[in-house]
């Protein structure tokens, strides 16, 4: 197992379209709310046996490849951590930034505001879909070998929820304010750095 730093982009609320507000983002990161999956939000009260039932390979595949239909019910949480595309023809590698990927999701390509959450999650070197405590490194082609059109989004997939003390910082972005820096941001005073754990792998 290793620790992966990631960025979670969540779209902001605009007239006629649901999303979070700047105040919501602050509560989630700084006041203990954390990030919960759409499944938990929709279901309400959950218990361990319910979690066990939804953490399946089939549901993970639907989360990755049928999100338009499955998104409202998914127990998984997509996180960006950067990816590398290898182009054999030109003999060059192309790096995709975690922050840039998360920003495109959070702002829907700069058509609305959104929040970036800087988090860490434990991830496994092997497939471990049924284990809620660890995230799935679905961008890793040595583990997830099926071709996916979304591999370059650099995704790590967390499960059910990300506790608030794993959120280091949240930023509020609005293209009408700036596309080079956040409009606002807060460090989480209750953040627990993963230093007691080993094998920390940074985002790029």
199 located within any domain = no
Q: Along the 204 residues of the chain, how does pLDDT read in single tens digits?
A: 899 999 999 999 999 888 999 999 999 998 888 999 999 999 999 999 999 999 999 999 999 999 999 999 999 999 999 888 888 888 888 888 999 999 999 999 999 999 999 999 999 999 999 999 999 999 887 788 787 877 777 789 999 999 999 999 999 999 999 999 999 999 999 999 998 876 677 777
200 located within any domain = no
How much is the pLDDT for 198?
67
Q: Which long-range contacts (CB under 8 A, 24 or more apart) does 68-75 make?
A: 71/38, 72/38, 72/42, 73/38, 73/39, 73/42, 74/37, 74/38, 74/39, 75/37, 75/38, 75/39, 75/40, 75/51, 75/159, 75/160
The residue segments making up the domain with residue 134 are 2-194
202 located within any domain = no
38 located within any domain = yes
> What is the spatial distance between Cα 145 and Cα 1, in angstroms, rounded to a whole number?
19
204 located within any domain = no
> What is the spatial distance between Cα 30 and Cα 7, in angstroms, rounded to a whole number?
16
> What is the spatial distance between Cα 204 and Cα 98, in angstroms, rounded to a whole number?
6
Total domains in the fold of the chain: 1
Domain CATH code at residue 42? 3.90.210
203 located within any domain = no
How much is the pLDDT for 199?
66
DSSP state of 153: G
How much is the pLDDT for 184?
93
150 located within any domain = yes
Which two tokens mark 26? 């602050």
40 located within any domain = yes
């Amino acid at each position: 197992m290793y620790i992966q730093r990631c960025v979670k982009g969540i779209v902001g609320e605009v007239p006629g379209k649901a999303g979070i507000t700047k105040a919501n983002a602050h509560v989630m990161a700084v006041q203990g709310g954390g990030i919960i999956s759409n499944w938990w939000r929709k279901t309400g009260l959950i218990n361990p046996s319910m979690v066990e039932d939804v953490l399946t390979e089939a549901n993970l595949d639907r989360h990755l490849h049928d999100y338009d239909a499955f998104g409202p019910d998914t127990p998984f949480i997509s996180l960006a951590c950067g990816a590398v595309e290898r182009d054999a023809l030109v003999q060059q590698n192309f790096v995709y930034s975690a922050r840039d990927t998360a920003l495109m999701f959070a702002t829907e390509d700069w058509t609305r505001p959104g929040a970036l959450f800087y988090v860490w999650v434990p991830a496994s070197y092997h497939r471990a879909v049924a284990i809620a405590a660890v995230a799935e490194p679905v961008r890793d082609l040595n583990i997830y070998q099926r071709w996916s059109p979304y591999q370059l989004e650099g995704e790590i997939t967390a499960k059910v929820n990300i506790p608030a003390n794993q959120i280091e910082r949240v930023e509020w972005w609005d293209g009408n304010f700036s596309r080079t820096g956040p409009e606002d941001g807060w460090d989480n005073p209750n953040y627990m750095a993963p230093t007691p754990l080993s094998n920390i792998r940074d985002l790029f």
